[in-house]
Amino acid sequence: MAVDHATPPEAHGTGSASQTERALLELRELLVEGELQPGARISELWVVERLGVSRTPVRAALIRLQEEGLLEPIASGGFAVRSFTVAEIGDSIELRGTLEGLAARLAAERGVTSRQLFELSVCVDEIDAILSGTLTDESFSAYVDANRRFHQRLAGACNSQVVERQIARTITMPFASPSAFVMAQSIDATAREMLLVAQAQHRAVVDAIKRREGARAEALMREHARIAHRNLQAAMTNQTVMQRIPGSSLIRMPLER
- CA 13 to chain CA centroid, nearest Å: 24
Among 5, 32, 26, CA closest to 96: 5
Let me know whether 77 and 89 are in one domain.
no
Q: Looking at the domain assignment, is residue 55 inside a domain?
A: yes
Let me know whether 188 and 223 are in one domain.
yes
Q: What pTM was estimated for this model as a whole?
A: 0.80
Instruction: Name, of 69-83, 95-109, 163-177, the range with top average pLDDT.
Output: 95-109
Number of CB atoms found within 10 A of residue 194's CB = 16
Let me know whether 71 and 122 are in one domain.
no
Let me know whether 52 and 131 are in one domain.
no
Let me know whether 132 and 19 are in one domain.
no
Q: Looking at the domain assignment, is residue 1 inside a domain?
A: no
Q: Looking at the domain assignment, is residue 2 inside a domain?
A: no
| Higher-confidence position of 142 and 137 | 142
Tell which of 24, 54, 82 closes a domain: 82
Let me know whether 28 and 70 are in one domain.
yes
Total domains in the chain come to 2
Tell which of 41, 64, 82 closes a domain: 82
pLDDT of residue 213: 98
Let me know whether 58 and 103 are in one domain.
no
Let me know whether 148 and 211 are in one domain.
yes
Angle (nearest 5°) at CA 148 between 4 and 213: 145
Phi, psi at 85, each rounded to 5°:
-80, 160
Let me know whether 247 and 139 are in one domain.
yes
pLDDT of residue 10: 40
Q: pLDDT for 100-139, tens place per residue?
A: 999 999 999 999 999 999 999 999 999 999 999 888 888 8
Range of the domain at 157: 85-252
The CATH number of whichever domain residue 164 belongs to comes to 1.20.120.530
pLDDT of residue 128: 96
Q: Looking at the domain assignment, is residue 134 inside a domain?
A: yes
The answer to which of 82-96, 176-190, 205-219 has the lowest mean pLDDT is 176-190
Mean pLDDT to the nearest integer, 196-219 = 97
Q: Looking at the domain assignment, is residue 227 inside a domain?
A: yes
